[in-house]
Structure 1
Amino acid sequence: MGVVVNLEDGKKPQASIAELVALTAQDMAAVNELILSKAGSDVAMIPEVANHLISSGGKRLRPMLTLAAAKMFNYAGDGHVKLAMSVEFMHTATLLHDDVVDESGMRRGKKTARMIWGNQASVLVGDYLLGQAFRVMVEVGSLEALDILSNAAAVIAEGEVLQLSVSKNLETTEDEYLEVIKAKTAALFSAAAEVGPVIANASRSDRAALRSYGTNLGLAFQLVDDALDYGGSSKDLGKNVGDDFREGKVTLPVILSYRRGTEEERAFWREAIETGEASDAALEKAFGIMKKHGAIADTIGRARHFGGIARDALAPLPSSRQKAALLDVIDFCISRVV
C-alpha cells in the first residue's frame, strides 16, 4: 500500500533539493563543524546522545533554508552559519523531546535515543542543545534574530502542549489540527527562513516574504508527512510507516476519515485511536477507509495549497539561484507523494 513517487518510470523526475545542497555546501561544512564543536561536553553522555541523532542522516533542510535566505540578500558575514547551527540544534532538541512524549522506538531507521539511554537522558540532552543554540544566537549580535528564534522555541513548546490536549481526541477539527502543526512544525521553518534576511538587513517586506514562505512550507511538509504515514516508506518518512497510527495520533487523514465515515467506521476509529488497537490488520483497514473517503488525497491537496502560498510569497522577489533553490524545496516536499 504505497503512494510513493516512482522514480524509475522514465517520466517526470522527482523534484530535488540538489541545487540548494550545492549552493549551501561550503557554508554547511562550517555548520557541521560548529555542530560537532557545540555538541561536545565533559559529560560523556551528552555528546553520545546528541551525536546519535545528529549523525543519523537527516537532510538538514532547515539550516540550509537559513543559509540560502541570507545569501539571497547578499549577506557577507558568518552569522548565518551560527544561526543555521542554532536552528539545527533547536530541531534536534525537539526530536529528542518528541520521541519521549510519543514513546517512539525508531527514528531514521535507528533506535531512538530514549530506547538506548532512557527518557531522562533524552530530555536533558535536548535541553542542553537548546541552551547551546541560544548561546550561539547571542554571539551573532542580532537582537531581532534572537527574538525570532526564541519566539519560535516558545511556540514549538506551546504546540507540543496543544498536541497533548487533542491527543486521541477524534472530535478535533481540521482548524484545530492546523494550529497544532503551525506551532509544532511550521514555526521553526518560518524562523529558519526569516532570520537570514534579518541579519542581511533586508527590507521588512522581504523578511515578511521569507517568513510566509517558511510558514507555508512547514505546513505543507507536515501534511505530506501525515499522508506518508499511511502510504509511504520509512526512507521518505524518517520513521516507521504507521507510527502515527500506532501511537494514536489524530492527524489530518484520520480527522477527515472520521468525519466522513459511517457510524461503523467511526466506531473503528474510536477503537483504534482511543483504546490503542494498532495491529497490522487495523492499519490496513485504516488505510482502506482513508482511501474510500479520499482522506489521503485531500491531505496531499491541502499540502499543495500551502505549497502554492509559499511559492506566491517568493514571487515578488528578484530572480536568483537562491530563490530558484527555495522554490525547488516546495516541489521536493510535495513530490514525496503523488
Structure 2
Amino acid sequence: GELMKEAERHCEAQRERAECLMEEKGNAIAEKESLMQQKREDMERHEFELKEMKLNVEKFKQESDRLAQEIQELTGDAPVRLTDDSASSLQRSAPSPVPSDSHKRGASTTAGGGKLETAPSSGNLPAIPLEGVAPLEAAAAGVLSAADQAAVAQRTEEALNDLQAQLGDLELPEAAREIFRRREEAWQGERARQEGALKQQHAAQLAGVRADLEKRLSEIETQRNRLTMDLSSRVEKVAELETIIEKSRGNSEEAEKAMAVKQRQHMKSLQQRLEQLVAVHRQLLRKFASQELENSDFRKKMVLRDERIKQLETNAKILAANMREQANRHVTELTKLRDQMAVLREDQLQAKQAEARMFEGGGMMHTM
C-alpha cells in the first residue's frame, strides 16, 4: 500500500511537471506570436505613413502644377475693363461729331444761299456709317478688350475716311469747307485729347494690373517656396521613414533569427525533458503494472483467505452448535444416569435393608 501511494504521488508530480512545461511552452509560443503581431503592426503602420506621405507629395505636386497654370494664365492676355468716363468719352468722340457737322454743314449751306439749301432734306448726302456705335456701347458697359478697342478705332477711322471722300465728292463753297476743316481739326484735337486721356487711364489701369500681378506673383512665389520647402521636408521625412522601415526590417529579421535560435534551444531542452519524462513515465508504468499484478494476486489471496475464514467461522459455528447439542444430550444422559443410579442405590439400599432384616429375623429364629 505504501509503495502504491508513493508511485501515485510520483506519477502525479511528473504529470504536474509535464503540465507546467506544456504551459511554459504555450506561453512562449503566445509571446512569440504577440511579438510577431506587434512587428507586423509596426510594419503596416510605417507602410501606411509612407503611403500617406506619397499621397501628400502627389497632392503638393498637383498644387504646384495648378499654381504654375494660374501664373501662366495671369501672365497671358487679360481683358481690360473700362470705366464709365472712358466709355462716355469714346461715345462722345465717335458718333456725335458726324451728325452735328452734317447738320451745321446743312445750316451753313442754307445760310450761304447756294446749291445746298435743300441738301439735308433732299437726300443728296449719303448716310454716314455708324458701325462703331455698338462697340462703343459695349465699351460704355466696361467689357471691351484691347482687340475690340482697336476694331472700334479702325471702324471710326474708316467712317471718317468715307465721310471725307463723300464730302470731297460734293461741291461745297469755300466757307463750308473751312467750317468742315475747323470742325474736323477741333474733332481731331478732341479725339487726340480723349485718346491721350484714355491712354493715361489705360496706363494707370495697366500699372495697377501690373502691380496686382506682381503682388500676386510674389505671393505665388512665396507660396511656391513654402510648398517647395514643405515638399522637401516631407521628402526627407519619407526617406527617413524608409530608412527606419529598412532598419526595422533588418532588426526584425535579426530578432526573428535570435528568437528562432532561442526557440530551437528551448524546444531542444523541452524535447530532452519530455524524453526523460517519457522514460520515467514508462518505468513508472512498468512498476505500476507489476504492482498491479502483485496487488491483484494479493487481492485474490485475501479473497480466498476471507472466504476460508468465513467458511471456518461457519464450520466453527456449526461445530459449536453440535457440541452444545451433544453437551446438552450428555447432560440429559448424565442426569438420567444419575437418576437411575440414585434409584439403583435406593433399591440396593432397600435390598440391603431387607436382607439385613431378613438376617436379623433368621438369627432370632435360631436363638429361639
Q: TM-score range by the shorter chain?
A: under 0.3
More helix by share: 2
Q: Give TM-score scaled by structure 1 length.
A: 0.22
Q: Give TM-score scaled by structure 2 length.
A: 0.21
